Amino acid sequence: MANVLGLAGSLRKASFNAGLLRAAAEECPDGLAITIGTIAGVPLYDADDEAANGLPDAVQTLQAQLADADALLLVTPEYNNGVPGVFKNAIDWMSRGDGLKHFKGKPVAVIGASPGGFGTNLAQAHWLPVLRTLGTRPWFEGRMMVSRAGQVFDDDGNLTDDKTRDALRTFLAGFQASLG
Ligand code: FNR
């Protein structure tokens, strides 16, 4: 059984991206499981705070989950054509202490959902220099950009569209195959 840590980069209760991550966990093929982590409770990075108090509990939890995971799935919103600060902030914290070693060589897939027509295309590309710097092994063969999210998620952020669930299953099967 391969274990994937899934993180969604939004704190919004009815987040499309959190809903996409829940749907991914539901649609996992046999032999793959997604552990849903959370960036909630991760404070803004402050080097003085880190020097005085070390890593916050929420960050230590995420680091432990990443250490246990065979792979990482980032489910990213797009803000101003880039990575949302709240999501990048959590990943930055996770790279602190001895956190980098858990990213090194780790297979990573990036997906996302947005209400617009381009489905986080630019945010996904924006993650690439970060993933390279962390020494990860990004998986590029599959692509999953959910556009017009308002039409495929309900008011609670649950994915209601069968075609998108099919695409998710195909994406996850490809990612699973790449893990060997
Ligand atoms: C956005 N949104 C947005 N969407 C997009 O497709 N491209 C973009 O560049 C932006 N820019 C942007 C900036 C800021 C500051 C906000 C708050 C929002 C809209 C965004 O996709 C939308 O709010 C999603 O619902 C965010 O994802 P969650 O919270 O639903 O997961």
- Distance, CA of 179 to CA of 69 (rounded, Å): 12
Task: Grade residue 180 by pLDDT with cuts at 50, 70 and 90.
Answer: confident
Q: Three-state DSSP class for 169?
A: helix
How many Å lie between the centroid of ligand 1 and the Cα of residue 86?
A: 12
Which atom of ligand 1 is least distant from the CA of 75? 31
User: Does the reported pTM lie above 0.75?
Assistant: yes
Q: Are 12 and 87 in contact (CB under 8 A)?
A: no
- Residue linked to tokens 């705070």: 49
Condensed to tens digits (0 to 9), the pLDDT of residues 144-179 reads: 999 999 999 999 999 999 999 999 999 999 999 999
Condensed to tens digits (0 to 9), the pLDDT of residues 109-150 reads: 999 999 999 999 999 999 999 999 999 999 999 999 999 999
User: What residues line ligand 1, using a CB cutoff of 6 Å?
Assistant: 10, 12, 15-17, 77-81, 114-116, 118
